[in-house]
Every structure is written in C-alpha cells, then in structure tokens.
Amino acid sequence: MMEKEFSIEDIDIYTLLRDILLNLWTIALGGAGVAMLASFYVRYTYVPEYRSQVTFVVSTKDATSSMYANLSTTIEMANIFTQIMDSDILKEKASQIAGYEELPGKIDAYAIPETNLLVVGVTAKSPEDAFKTLKLIIENYRLVSDYIYGNAHLEDIEDIEMSDWPVNSVDEPRIRKLSFLAGAFLSACAVCALSFFRDTVKNEKQANSKLHAKLLSTIRHERKYKTLRQVLKRAKRTPLVIDMFASIDYICSYKKLYRLAAAWCGVRRRNPCKHSRFFNTCGKTGLCKSKRNQ
C-alpha cells in the first residue's frame, strides 16, 4: 500500500477556521461534556475534612533558673512535645480510654520556630470527630509526657473551637470553567485533525496532486442574495455572467476561464467542458483539464 505523505503546505488556514466555525456547536458540546464529567467526579470523590487546633505555651513547673535558660529549655521541650503528641503510644492509650479501635482523625503538631509555643491540631471527616479527638489528646497527653519531661507544663492560650467549614474546600465553579476550556480545546483539535486528514481539495495547490489534472482557473462563489429584499424574502438569484448585479471579479474570472479552456481545446466552437472537470473548494470553483485528453 502506498503511504500518503503530508507536508506543511497541506494545511489550509481558511479551511481550518471555516470548519471550526461550522463546528462551534460540537466544540461547545465537547467542553460542556467534559465540564459535566469533572463536576460529577468532584462531587462523588470529594470528602470534606474539618480541623480543630489549640496553641500551648510550654513552660517548666519551677522558675528557679534564669530567663534565658528557661526559654532555651522550653523551646527544646516544645520540639520534643511535637513528637509526643503525634506518637503511636499516645494514640493507642487515648483510643483505649475512649473505647475506639483507632482515633477518628489525623493528629499533627508543630512548634513555632524560636518560641516555646506548641500548636496541636486534629483533622477528621467531621467537625465533631476533630473536636473530640483533640480534646481526648489534651486530656491524656500526660500519660506519655510525664515519663519524658515530668517538669513540663502546658497551658493553652486559646479555647478549642469546632470547625464550621472544611479546610479542603473545592472551588467547583473554577473546576467547571477549566474543564470546559480543556474539553473545548480538545474538541477543536479533533475538528482540525479531521479537517486536515479529510481527502478533499482545500486550495488551488492541492488540485493538481489530488485531481491529477492541470488547474486552468479559479472562480470564487458568488452570493445568491444580492439585495436586502432578496435576503428577507429568501429569493435566490442564479449567478449569471450577464447579471447586472454580478461582481466584476466573478465576470472577469469566467471570461478568463473560457479563453483558457478554448485555447486548450484549440477550436473555439468546441465545448471545453466536455473535456474538463470541475471541483468545489472553500468558497471557490475551479476548472481542470483531464490528463486523459491532453
């Protein structure tokens, strides 16, 4: 089988733009379909997460040491407590006390750099689980911390609040817009690909190769509605050369075509159309002579 060779010359911008305009409804439907699928996917896979947190001031029970030494110690203790709050031992003991097989939330803790402040938070699928789990950790952290820092003291500087809004909220309108643009772009690419690979004559350069004939002339299509009255009444006029409303380019191109066809036939009394073939392309009509009659 002979393979078709494609080159950059086969790309006709006018044809691509025309096909895109004619298939705008297809592109819009493609974008709307992708946006709808993305919206359904987000709604069925989205799991809201709620977070409750509290901030502690880490200090020592005795204040006999200097202020600088006390601050250095508490900063070190705050860093240690980040590991204690997120330790498996504390989670296991808190679960046993509450009667859970596993705590219904993810615990995280971090110390604010260069301070003795400790932030402990819990993220769960419901605000109630996040609140209860954090409260359970606060009430039972001493079961582990006393074995490491018995001299440490944690004082909360804010009350625990139940979260009203999820921390992983999804901007669904933005996702729909981006999905629509992506779907429309892919649909436009598909339309351009089909237009490019469609085996039709798109311009004058392709007439010789695809029709296996010599191009004599090209005539642009003439509008069938010449006046506003014809447009309103939908009254079409056959575009004749002798029509007074016909454009100059239309008349001259037909005269040029006849002269070339008659010269090719050799005798003007002979009808050149019997030995020729017409082709239609984007807004144009061409006449080619058949190679069989050369």
Domain positions in the chain: 1-46+170-199, 50-156, 201-293
Amino acid at 247: S
Task: Categorise residue 114: left if φ over 0, alpha if ψ from -120 to 50, beta otherwise.
Answer: left
Distance, in Å, from the CA atom of 282 to the CA atom of 206, rounded to the nearest integer, reads 12
Query: CB of 54 within 8 A of CB of 134?
Result: yes
Supply 84's token pair: 């204690």
Question: Of residues 130 and 85, which shows the higher confidence score?
Answer: 130
Task: List pLDDT tens digits, range 145-204.
Answer: 777 766 677 788 877 878 888 888 888 899 999 999 999 999 999 998 888 887 777 777
Distance, in Å, from the CA atom of 194 to the CA atom of 183, rounded to the nearest integer, reads 17
CATH class of 50-156: alpha beta
Task: List pLDDT tens digits, range 194-227.
Answer: 888 877 777 777 777 777 777 777 777 777 766 6
Half-sphere exposure at residue 9, Cβ-oriented, CA atoms within 13 angstroms: 7
Residue 253 CB coordination number (10 Å): 19
Task: List pLDDT tens digits, range 14-69.
Answer: 888 888 999 999 999 999 999 999 999 998 988 888 998 888 888 776 655 444 44
Question: Of residues 104 and 6, which shows the higher confidence score?
Answer: 104
Question: At 290, is the secondary structure helix, strand, or coil?
Answer: strand
- pTM of this structure: 0.61
Distance, in Å, from the CA atom of 282 to the CA atom of 294, rounded to the nearest integer, reads 27
